[in-house]
Amino acid sequence: MHIHILGICGTFMAGVARLAAAAGHKVTGSDANVYPPMSDQLKDAGIELTQGYNAEDISVAPDLWVIGNAIGRGNPLLEEILDRGLPYTSGPQWLSENVLRDRHVLAVAGTHGKTTTSSMLLHILSKAGLEPGWLIGGVPFGTHASAGLGKSKYFVIEADEYDTAFFDKRSKFVHYRPSTAILNNLEYDHADIFENLAAIEKQFHHLVRTIARNGLVIVNAKSEALERVLGMGCWSRVEEFNSTSGWSVDDDRVVRLGATVQGSLAEMPAAGMHNAQNALAAVAAAHDVGVDPKQAIESLKSFEGVARRLEVKGMQNGVTVIDDFAHHPSAIEATIAALRGKVGRDARILAVFEPRSNTMKLGTMKDRLAGSLKDADRVFCYKGKGVNWDPAGALLPLGGKASTFSGEIDALAQLVASDAKPGDTVLCMSNGSFGGICGRILEHLKINGEAR
């Protein structure tokens, strides 16, 4: 079958494309922004890409059009597809019908930690020899790809609550019908499509409704929102983590199931208590498919992490530059806390943040921004396109250690590099490319060092 994907360079849709190509389908695609590295990954998989969404591209004539959720009414190519009555579907629906059917799906849902937890679970199952397939919203180090078919009935998927397509406003994850589901946490996010937390809770309840009686829901016991979700009805087995009667991990990273010690995550490279909790959920999910918890914990000692999750991009003149995907205040706070635990109290952290997600652009979380950044020694906030609120006002509680910037990215990188001193760590946080700021900062650090 020939499928053509609209919005193919998005992380999820690119994963669908790679899976379809690996399954033997002819895959082509269109996107408004066809550029490396995603374009290179897709071309390496034999996928031909078209720049833009021109009506004349209808001549591609696939058997099926797969429409990404970034594509809305008014898109010229979409309008041509609809006018001609051509067959189309969504990425999640295609995935459900062509890849996930008859497989044991292990889905990881939650506001934070989905990519890392999914990657940890993939690592555990792979180390146990289960050869799972996967689709993850990032690239786990050691896999070199965000998606793969695998060789067994098991399939690990990052289960996103964002909407499915222009014609299907349910969350993507309702299509996946997992046998094992992690509900990692739940906060308000995606303010562009959800009016409040209750609306997101309802979507999570829809996910729970799809899970069979003999399926398993692994839920964070410390989340009041998830307690409300299960209170709407749950017909499956339930296990709790962050619970003394269920799965728990203490400050020393000792893992217990009830009162029984299962092992220690102390040697797991991933920093921070939030990652210990992510690992705990992954261990619980792996246990559901027969992996001994002690074996799972042991395997996490070799977990290399995920691209753009506290990823060290380089060091110049004694300054370490790190890239991270954090964009929600809770994730920003947890990321800085993890880094602080790694570098110590005496080392300086320079936080460089771009409010780029739709939720952050709308200013929904602006009152929480200063609190999430308080443990950094210097804060640089970049006001990019679409940010219509005042970051300087939001960061006033931080006093003189916070600066806002709205000029060229390279000028911001130069400013940060000039402020940095040997022993500092520069932490860049955005859910986008941030104009390649990590590389720019490293280059300016190099120039500054050569000028001394």
Q: Residue 438, class by beta-carbon neighbours within 10 Å (0-12 exposed, 13-18 middle, 19+ buried)?
A: buried
Residue 161: count other Cβ atoms within 10 Å of its Cβ.
23
pLDDT (average), residues 404-419: 91
User: Are the CB atoms for 335 and 326 separated by under 8 Å?
Assistant: yes
| H-only helix segments in 133-193 | none
Confidence of residue 219 (pLDDT cuts 50, 70, 90): very high
- The helix (run of H) or strand (run of E) holding residue 116 is helix 114-127
403 close to 327: Cβ distance less than 8 angstroms: no
Burial (CB < 10 A; 0-12, 13-18, 19+), residue 250, is: exposed
Buried b (16+ CB within 10 A) or exposed e, 194-215: beebeebbebbbbbbebbeeeb
pLDDT bucket at 429, cuts 50 / 70 / 90: very high
Q: How many CA atoms lie within 13 A of 238 on its CB side?
A: 16
Q: pLDDT of 193-214, one tens digit each?
A: 899 999 999 999 999 999 999 9
What's the whole-number average pLDDT of the chain? 92
Angle among Cα 92, 94, 98 to the nearest 5 degrees reads: 120
Q: Is the dihedral of CA 189, 194, 196, 201 positive or negative?
A: negative
Structure pTM? 0.89
Q: DSSP string of 118-148?
A: HHHHHHHHHHTT---EEE-SS-BTTT-SSEE
Residue 184: pLDDT over 70 = yes
Q: pLDDT-based confidence at 141, cuts 50/70/90?
A: confident
Output the CA–CA distances (angstroms, integers) from residue 72 to 6, 68, 75, 138, 281, in the order listed: 10, 9, 6, 24, 36
Please work out, in degrees rounded to the nearest 5, the angle formed at the alpha carbon of residue 104 by the alpha carbons of 47 and 306.
55
Rounded CA gap, 231 and 236, in Å?
13
- β-sheet bridge partners, residue 31: 51
pLDDT digits (tens, 9 = 90+) for 49-66: 999 999 999 999 999 999
Query: What pLDDT is stored for residue 326 in this prediction?
Result: 83
Q: How far apart, in whole angstroms, are the C-alpha atoms of residue 21 and residue 73?
A: 27
Least confidently predicted of 35-39, 97-101, 299-303, 361-365: 35-39
Question: What percentage of the chain has pLDDT greater than the value 70?
Answer: 99
Instruction: Tell me the per-residue pLDDT of 101-128, one tens digit each, with 9 for 90 and over.
Output: 999 999 999 998 899 999 999 999 999 9
Q: Over the stretch 274-317, which tens digit does the pLDDT of each residue have?
A: 899 999 999 999 999 999 999 999 999 999 888 788 889 999 99
Q: What is the 3-state secondary structure (H, E, C) of 311-340?
A: EEEEEECCEEEEEECCCCHHHHHHHHHHHH
Confidence category of residue 353, pLDDT binned at 50, 70, 90: very high
The closest of 419, 411, 451 to 319, measured between CA atoms, is 419
Q: Strand, helix or coil at 272?
A: coil
User: Between the CA of residue 386 and those of 70, 280, 289, 360, 408, what are the distances in Å?
Assistant: 17, 38, 45, 10, 15
Q: Residues near 375 by Cβ (< 8 Å), separated by ≥ 6?
A: 333, 336, 337, 340, 349
| 9-20 tens-digit pLDDT | 988 999 999 999
